[in-house]
Amino acid sequence: MQEILNLNKNNCTDCYKCIRDCSVKAITFAHDTAEIVHNECILCGRCYVTCPQKAKQVRNDVLRVKAAIAAGRRVVCSLAPSFIANFRIRSLDVIANALKQLGFAEIQETAIGAQMVSEEYARIMEEGKLHVLISSCCPSINMLIRKYHPTMLPYLAKVLTPMEAHCKLIKEQLPDAFTVFIGPCIAKKQESDEGSYTDVALTFDELADWFAEEGIELPYEHVDPASEGALARLYPATGGVLKATAKVKGYRRIAIDGIDNCRAVFKEIENDEFGKVFIEMSACEGSCVNGPCIRDHVERRLKGAMRVDAFSGTGETPYQIENKPDIRTTYSFDGGHRMQFGGDAIRDMLYKMGKTSPEKELNCGSCGYPTCRDKAIAILEGKAKIEMCLPFLKEKAESFSDTIIHNTPTAIIVMDEDLVVQQINPSAVKMFKLKDAGDILHEHVVRILNPRDYQMIVNAALHTRSRKHYLSDYGLYVDETILYDRQYHVIITLIRDVTEHEKLRLQGAELKQQTVEITNKVIDKQMRIVQEIASLLGETTAETQIALTKLKDAMAHE
């Protein structure tokens, strides 16, 4: 089966934004483009949301659902309560009718599964065996713990997610059902692929496109405030799990959202004692109402949470669930064994990166890694390149250009648009007989050169001008190229000393002139002699004169 999160390489511009936003660094740039490391990815969707070029693509599973409908299967939808934030409709009935137009046989709320999950959380706390209990509702958090924080596994609630719990209930009640979850989460697709109860997981984006394809329009309306409603509908908003779960004496309750925030809490749990605490964890900041496949993403945190709150009503009417299934489960370590690199290997890589001292380890994060050391390890793992370091490239480029400028025999002068000298290289200092660069820096160029041509190129907004001329003040013949960069408002002049070449050229011209004069004298003399001989012999000199005249003309043009 195709991977869930993929890359459109044609759109990738190597901006490193995705790796900066990836908490687990499950992205490699080893082959000059971003590639997702699928066995390390937790499918949080941050790279999908933040990619400015839309280079990340989510696997589309709509065809699988269409095939089930076409085959006459009883397709039952488990609809995440965050639908009320995504589609901004007034009630469940509106979207249920639209789903039935697509061919769904039945539409139920995933909140039914959420209610069962909350009941199980309360039961675990009543047992009191775990001092720290971490909710298991978010599949990305579950993967984060299983792959990267195995020390948290004992604290992760051994309970199915609301999606799996609900779909298990559906399959026990309707054995022939083909279950389809629809929500804002990419990670649910992985859970569906690996689980036993959800046949297909779709995102709200896929559903919206399917509606558009079928010409189904959902009206934007205010939520009908539910007079009763269920607390389990609060699950999509931060703190919703806590509100939907009965309070158990002795347990404090904390909601943490955002992967980096959750990882920080993991460290605290490892290092400190907190007493009994129930922690709701969500990978997305703002929880599911800010999920990666929520449309109009930037508007969802407050507005979405308020719509969810209105949809839940007073929460005084829990779902009546008969024959509840056993929703207990287990979670095991699923991470690979990362290669460990010694200090020498890391130091050698840091040196290659130009980090030759601790002061040069800027830890600026421009490469996407939090520290230079993390970046060095990523390079050793084959996930990154040295060239991803912006300070390194800047220093390398500056060093390279400085080397060229300081060692070229061509004189280089950089001026601003007021013709004030901003930079001058050693060759120019020597050419214009200055003691050092300080003699002319931040002074008008008129002190060493006629400013007329530089002013003209600025006034005329030309880009370049080349000329050969004689600098009488310095006794130099020069070949000069003037460059005007309008974007950066600088004039650069490149002056090459061609005095020796010009002197040789002039000497050659003078020698040629002397040769022509001598040749003319010889030809004239030879013509007189030939004419005298021809006269004595009584022959005409016309042909001889013509031939010698042509020779003379040819010599004159050499």
Kindly report the CATH number assigned to the domain that includes residue 31.
3.30.70.20
Asked if 33 and 68 sit in the same domain, the reply is no
pLDDT of 556 > 60? The answer is no
pLDDT of 539 > 60? The answer is no
pLDDT of 524 > 80? The answer is no
Average pLDDT in the 271-290 region?
Answer: 93
Asked if 543 and 521 sit in the same domain, the reply is yes
C-alpha to C-alpha distances, 324 to 125, 159, 190, 321, 485, nearest whole angstrom: 19, 14, 25, 6, 74
Average pLDDT in the 288-312 region?
Answer: 83
**Alpha helix segments (H runs only) across 313-357:** 343-352
Q: Is 175 left (phi over 0), alpha (psi -120 to 50) or beta?
A: alpha
**Domain end (from 479, 497, 515):** 497
pLDDT of residue 356: 79
pLDDT of residue 369: 80
Q: Is 476 in contact with 431 (CB distance < 8 Å)? A: yes
Q: What type of residue sits at position 180?
A: V
Asked if 64 and 52 sit in the same domain, the reply is no
pLDDT of residue 382: 76
Contacts with 305 (C-beta within 8 Å, 6 or more apart), sequence order? 85, 237, 238, 286, 289
Give a yes or no: residue 321 inside a domain.
no
Give the confidence band of 509 by pLDDT, cuts at 50, 70, 90: low
Q: What are phi and psi of 446, to 5 degrees?
A: -60, -20
Give a yes or no: residue 402 inside a domain.
no
Residues 6, 9, 13, 15, CA torsion sign: positive
Average pLDDT in the 237-258 region?
Answer: 96
- Nearest of 382, 387, 359, 361 to residue 372 by alpha carbon: 361
Residues 43, 24: Cα–Cα separation, whole Å: 10
Q: What are phi and psi of 265, to 5 degrees?
A: -65, -35
Q: What are phi and psi of 341, to 5 degrees?
A: -115, 140
Average pLDDT in the 321-326 region?
Answer: 94
Average pLDDT in the 401-411 region?
Answer: 83
Q: Could you say which DSSP state residue 293 is in? A: T
pLDDT of residue 398: 63
Residues 284, 289: Cα–Cα separation, whole Å: 9
Asked if 379 and 414 sit in the same domain, the reply is no
**Domain end (from 366, 396, 426):** 396
243-257, 405-419, 475-489, 506-520: range with highest mean pLDDT: 243-257
Number of compact structural domains in the chain: 5
Q: Is 195 in contact with 164 (CB distance < 8 Å)? A: yes
Asked if 158 and 64 sit in the same domain, the reply is yes
Contacts with 166 (C-beta within 8 Å, 6 or more apart), sequence order? 78, 108, 110, 112, 113, 114, 116, 181
- Nearest of 181, 74, 118, 179 to residue 324 by alpha carbon: 118
pLDDT of residue 362: 79
Give the confidence band of 86 by pLDDT, cuts at 50, 70, 90: very high
Mean pLDDT of the chain: 87
Asked if 134 and 245 sit in the same domain, the reply is yes
**Domain end (from 396, 431, 462):** 396
pLDDT of residue 98: 97
pLDDT top residue among 351 and 87: 87
pLDDT of residue 518: 66
pLDDT of 558 > 80? The answer is no
Give the confidence band of 339 by pLDDT, cuts at 50, 70, 90: low
Q: Could you say which DSSP state residue 466 is in? A: E
Average pLDDT in the 373-397 region?
Answer: 73
Asked if 226 and 363 sit in the same domain, the reply is no
pLDDT of residue 184: 96
pLDDT top residue among 371 and 331: 331
pLDDT top residue among 266 and 517: 266
Give a yes or no: residue 324 inside a domain.
no
pLDDT of residue 519: 62
Asked if 464 and 553 sit in the same domain, the reply is no
Tokens coding 352: 């290659």
Average pLDDT in the 275-279 region?
Answer: 95
- Nearest of 82, 58, 79 to residue 190 by alpha carbon: 58
Q: What are phi and psi of 253, to 5 degrees?
A: -130, 125
pLDDT of 261 > 60? The answer is yes
pLDDT of residue 508: 63
Asked if 163 and 192 sit in the same domain, the reply is yes
Q: Is 242 in contact with 255 (CB distance < 8 Å)? A: yes
Residues 364, 356: Cα–Cα separation, whole Å: 16
Give a yes or no: residue 478 inside a domain.
yes
Residue with tokens 């793992």: 381
pLDDT of residue 523: 65
Average pLDDT in the 335-345 region?
Answer: 74
Give a yes or no: residue 68 inside a domain.
yes
- Nearest of 208, 189, 209 to residue 199 by alpha carbon: 189
- Nearest of 484, 490, 495 to residue 411 by alpha carbon: 495
Q: Is 534 in contact with 548 (CB distance < 8 Å)? A: no
Q: What are phi and psi of 412, to 5 degrees?
A: -130, 125
Q: Could you say which DSSP state residue 418 is in? A: T
pLDDT of residue 67: 98
Give a yes or no: residue 6 inside a domain.
yes
Give a yes or no: residue 333 inside a domain.
no
pLDDT top residue among 362 and 205: 205
% of the chain residues with pLDDT over 90: 58
Residues 332, 421: Cα–Cα separation, whole Å: 68
pLDDT top residue among 316 and 43: 43
Asked if 378 and 445 sit in the same domain, the reply is no
pLDDT of residue 511: 63
pLDDT of residue 177: 97
For position 481, which CATH number holds?
3.30.450.20
Average pLDDT in the 309-337 region?
Answer: 89
pLDDT top residue among 145 and 513: 145
Give a yes or no: residue 318 inside a domain.
no
Q: Is 57 in contact with 34 (CB distance < 8 Å)? A: no
Residues 179, 234: Cα–Cα separation, whole Å: 23
List the domain range (segments joined by +) for residue 535. 501-557
Asked if 102 and 157 sit in the same domain, the reply is yes
Asked if 137 and 266 sit in the same domain, the reply is yes
Average pLDDT in the 164-186 region?
Answer: 97
pLDDT top residue among 219 and 375: 219
Q: In this predicted model, what pLDDT tens digit does every residue of 65-83 receive, in sequence order?
A: 999 999 999 999 999 999 9
For position 370, which CATH number holds?
1.10.15
Tokens coding 119: 């009941």
pLDDT of residue 347: 85
